[in-house]
């Protein structure tokens, strides 16, 4: 069997990890962020989230040096725990990446309909009271097939696409920060918190894992690094992606709340665009934001699509799902059948429409934290050095707390029936697809 193509360098790993984190959340659900914590609470929630996740990122950097395996968390936990635990750990992490794909495909329709309202026509059916429109569905399908083609034809093509999108996003984001700083006012920022400061930060911290999932995606491409790639550079890519991602989200919240009164944005679709239009009194900033949103959507969709395909490929190679998903294209040296599998799954989930947006955020957040906990806990058992075990223990505590926030009813913002149902469906699907690992 041929091996995966080895073509990735440091800037490719950063672009893939950063792009997996930064999509359209800062545009589509900004009102939810502000509603949770107010501008200060939400911004601090993301900043603190990025900071406390550094030990988790450190553990991933250590793991990939020891075990450069595309299976990621499944491979790490297999060093310590029974195969069934390894499998379901990997299956939950696959959910964290895969579920973003239909999320972004649905978000494309929402953004496009904001520009072209006629797209909200030809209603096909409703899911949980949310309409599914034919034109928006066609857009989501078209984007899914485009990114599937890019990933099918080579990791170099996918990485180049990711770098181009990331560069454009950071450039436009800098422009928006300058506009907000020049035209905004401190009065718009008040009150700084939606409720009590600690509660405001806490409610935001609950969703941070979902929006920062991606910094740990770099090890999923460990088998595709350039032969000259230095092992310690994985750590650099992970830390840089995590820091830039957390800073991006925090500054986006501050910029939106600074340019327009943030309380007037609650409950409004695309509140980021609305804020800049209110603050400047002109429509062109909205167009600029929507262009940036499309770039973000493309890169986040592509990053999560690529990571999902690598995980599915690696699990098939380990014999825990159907072996056909471990096939490598003889010409493009990509996990071609796994790419097709993720494409089909995305298209099926896309049929649920807007109804998946909120439950996906909640379940994906918990799934990410569970994967981080498993990676940290496994490393704690295999690492003899005290200093590294202390750092790892910090990662264990952070991950465990993030999981408790979503599962324990005593915490505000815990899982509702919709999230429990979504989680149960995924676990049942995983059990149905599971194969006993080959000896």
What confidence tens digit (pLDDT) does each residue in 220-255 have? 998 889 888 888 899 999 999 999 999 999 999 999
Of residues 107 and 174, the one with the higher pLDDT is 174
Query: Is residue 435 pLDDT above 80, yes or no?
Result: no
Radius of gyration over every alpha carbon of the chain, rounded to an integer in angstroms: 21
Both tokens of residue 49? 């989230």
Average pLDDT over every residue of 42-59? 93
User: Taking the CA of residue 174 as centre, how many other CA atoms within 13 Å lie in the half-sphere pointing to its CB?
Assistant: 6
Each residue of 267-280: pLDDT tens digit?
A: 887 889 889 988 88
Position 1 confidence tier, pLDDT thresholds 50, 70, 90: low
- Which percentage of the chain shows pLDDT scores above 90? 42
User: For residue 88, how many other CB atoms are within 10 A of its CB?
Assistant: 19
Structural domains of the chain, ranges and CATH numbers in brackets:
10-433 (1.20.1740.10)
Average pLDDT over every residue of 384-413? 87
Each residue of 13-32: pLDDT tens digit?
A: 999 999 888 887 788 789 98
Phi and psi at residue 245, in whole multiples of 5°? -65, -50
How far is it, in rounded angstroms, from Cα 385 to Cα 383?
6
pLDDT on residue 361? 66
Both tokens of residue 382? 């295999």
pTM score of the predicted model? 0.86
Position 109 confidence tier, pLDDT thresholds 50, 70, 90: confident
Phi and psi at residue 375, in whole multiples of 5°? -65, -45
How far is it, in rounded angstroms, from Cα 3 to Cα 22?
30
pLDDT on residue 2? 67
């Amino acid at each position: 069997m041929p091996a995966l193509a080895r073509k990735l360098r440091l800037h490719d790993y950063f672009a893939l990890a950063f792009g997996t984190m930064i999509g359209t959340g800062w545009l589509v659900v900004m009102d939810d962020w502000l509603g949770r914590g107010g501008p200060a609470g939400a911004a601090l929630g993301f900043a603190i989230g990025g900071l406390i996740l550094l030990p988790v990122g450190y553990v991933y950097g250590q793991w990939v040096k020891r075990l450069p395996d595309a299976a990621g968390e499944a491979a790490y936990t297999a060093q310590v725990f029974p195969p069934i635990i390894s499998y379901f750990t990997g299956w939950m992490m696959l959910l964290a990446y895969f579920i973003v794909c239909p999320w972004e495909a649905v978000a494309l329709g929402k953004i496009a309909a904001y520009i072209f309202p006629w797209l909200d026509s030809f209603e096909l059916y409703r899911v949980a009271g949310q309409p599914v429109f034919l034109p928006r569905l066609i857009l989501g399908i078209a984007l899914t097939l485009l990114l599937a083609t890019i990933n099918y034809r080579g990791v170099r093509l996918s990485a180049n696409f990711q770098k181009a999108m990331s560069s454009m996003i950071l450039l436009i984001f800098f422009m928006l920060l300058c506009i907000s700083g020049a035209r905004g006012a401190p009065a718009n920022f008040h009150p700084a918190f939606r409720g009590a400061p600690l509660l405001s930060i806490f409610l935001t911290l609950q969703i941070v894992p979902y929006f920062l999932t991606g910094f740990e995606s770099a090890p999923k491409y460990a088998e595709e690094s350039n032969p000259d790639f230095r092992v310690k550079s994985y750590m650099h890519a992970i830390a840089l992606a995590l820091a830039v991602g957390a800073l991006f989200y925090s500054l986006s919240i501050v910029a939106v709340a600074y340019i327009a009164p943030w309380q007037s944005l609650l409950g409004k679709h695309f509140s980021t665009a609305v804020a800049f239009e209110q603050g400047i009194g002109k429509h062109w900033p909205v167009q600029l934001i929507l262009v940036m949103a499309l770039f973000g959507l493309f890169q986040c969709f592509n990053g999560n699509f690529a990571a999902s395909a690598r995980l599915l490929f690696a699990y098939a190679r380990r014999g825990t799902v159907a072996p056909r998903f471990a096939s490598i294209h003889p010409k493009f040296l990509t996990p071609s059948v796994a790419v097709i599998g993720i494409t089909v799954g995305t298209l099926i989930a896309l049929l649920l429409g807007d109804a998946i947006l909120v439950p996906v955020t909640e379940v994906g957040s918990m799934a990410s934290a569970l994967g981080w906990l498993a990676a940290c806990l496994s490393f704690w058992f295999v690492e003899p050095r005290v200093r590294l075990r202390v750092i790892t223990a910090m990662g264990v505590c952070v991950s465990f707390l993030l999981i408790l926030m979503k599962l324990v009813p005593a915490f505000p913002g815990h899982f509702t029936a919709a999230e429990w149902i979504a989680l149960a469906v995924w676990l049942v699907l995983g059990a149905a697809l599971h194969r006993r690992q080959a000896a």
